[in-house]
Amino acid sequence: MTSVLQPQKESASGTYTFASRPRAVQNRSKYREPAPEQNEGQVQYGNIMYDRRVVRGNTYAQHVLPVTAQPDPVELQRLQEARRRTTARKRAKEQFRPRTPEPVEGRKHIDVQTELYLEELSDKIEESSVECQTDAFLDKPATPLFIPAKTGKDVATQIEEGELFDFDIEVKPVLEVLVGKTIEQALLEVMEEEELANLRAQQRAFEELRNAELVEVQRLEEQERRHREEKERRIKQQREILRLEKETAEKIAARAFAQHYLADLLPSVYTSLRDHGYFYDPVERDVETGFLPWLMTEVKNTLEKRSLGRTVLDMLIRDVVEKRLDAFQQMELKSPRLT
């Protein structure tokens, strides 16, 4: 049950009062209806892709309609109607706005000062010193709770049983909605479970097929790898065989060239070596390198010994002659004295 406020006339004391009248509750919809003032003259679009307010293309360029494009007459009529309503609403607000009444004939409105006392304006500021004695600070009392003044009249309404609604009748659509929603939700859950089971079965089948394909791909890759390795090994062996054949051919050619080149070189080389003494008689070489140097050494030693003996003999002879010469000179010196 709701109460509707109704304005009443002013009382003798000048206080504005009102009274409420009881009224039965109306059945309201579940969702709020859009306000007609906001949606009048506007086109509701379900998809923004078809909304004319969405600019397409370059946003820097001015959006100009082509000359051949004609506006929709229904849309144009709606826009004009909405503009007309807006203008009428503004005009009504201007009319109901409180204004100053028009002056009587022979008078006009002017701006006047409404202060109680006139104030003289001057450049000098008036100053005065005032002293006062204040009392000691006291604790501020608690602020009382604000209780608004009671207005209006209290009205009571007696509601008998069964006057507003019948529970059995009113609860039926609610139960139908609850049961229907529950059954619908259950059916949706069952269908979702079946769909999930089908998806899992398809996923398992896809995984099995994918695993089989992966095994086949791995087998083919392994086979291709073995073929590639066998091919590389055969190519490597063939290259090694070609290298050995080329090396053998080069050796044979080098040997033939060396034999052809050394055919006339060996006699001249042997002759030159023989002339330079590289080919000799072992006995003659032994005599020359072994016997003759020893013989010369022995002869030299013998000659040195003989020379040494002769030198020693010459020294002895010289010493004897010198001694005898000294003795003879001494005798010659002594003999004149004796004479």
**Cα angle, residue 326 at apex, residues 321 and 328 outer, rounded to 5°:** 95
Identify the pLDDT of residue 245: 94
Looking at residue 267, its pLDDT comes to 77
Residue 7, SS3?
A: strand
Q: What is the pLDDT of residues 110-130, one digit of tens each?
A: 776 677 776 676 777 778 888
User: Could you say which DSSP state residue 14 is in?
Assistant: -
User: Crossing angle of helices 265-275/167-262, nearest 10°?
Assistant: 60
Average pLDDT across the chain, whole number: 79
Q: Tell me: pLDDT of 30 over 70.
A: no
Mean pLDDT of 152-165: 78
Each residue's pLDDT tens digit, 181-234: 999 999 999 999 999 999 999 999 999 999 999 999 999 999 999 999 999 999
Distances (CA, A) of 41 to 55, 84, 89, 161: 21, 10, 14, 47
Amino acid at 293: P
Q: Phi and psi dihedrals of 62, rounded to 5?
A: -75, 135
Residue 6 · residue 142 · CB < 8 Å: no
Which band of pLDDT confidence, cut at 50, 70 and 90, is reported for residue 5? very low
Q: What pLDDT shows up at residue 328?
A: 87
The better pLDDT of the pair 235, 269 is held by 235
C-alpha 45/C-alpha 139 separation (Å) is 65
- For residues 64-75, give the mean pLDDT: 61
pLDDT at 6: 45
pLDDT greater than 60 at residue 43: no
- Cα separation, 163 vs 23, in Å, equals 12
Q: How far apart (Å, rounded) are the C-alpha atoms in residues 221 and 229?
A: 12
- At position 337, the amino acid (one-letter code) is R
The pLDDT assigned to 241 comes to: 94
Backbone dihedral angles phi then psi of residue 145, each to the nearest 5 degrees: -70, 140
Phi, psi of 142 (to 5 degrees): -65, 140
237-292 residue pLDDT tens: 999 999 999 999 999 999 988 888 877 777 777 788 877 777 777 787 788 888 88
Q: Which two tokens stand for residue 127?
A: 């100053």
What are 4's strand-pairing partners? 21
Considering the entire predicted model, what is its pTM? Answer: 0.24
Report residue 7's pLDDT band, with 50, 70 and 90 as the boundaries. very low
Is 82 exposed, middle or buried, given 0-12, 13-18 or 19+ CB atoms closer than 10 A? middle
How many other β-carbons are positioned within 10 Å of the β-carbon of residue 4?
9
Q: For the chain, give every domain's residue range.
A: 281-333
| pLDDT value at residue 38 | 47
% of the chain surpassing 90 pLDDT:
28
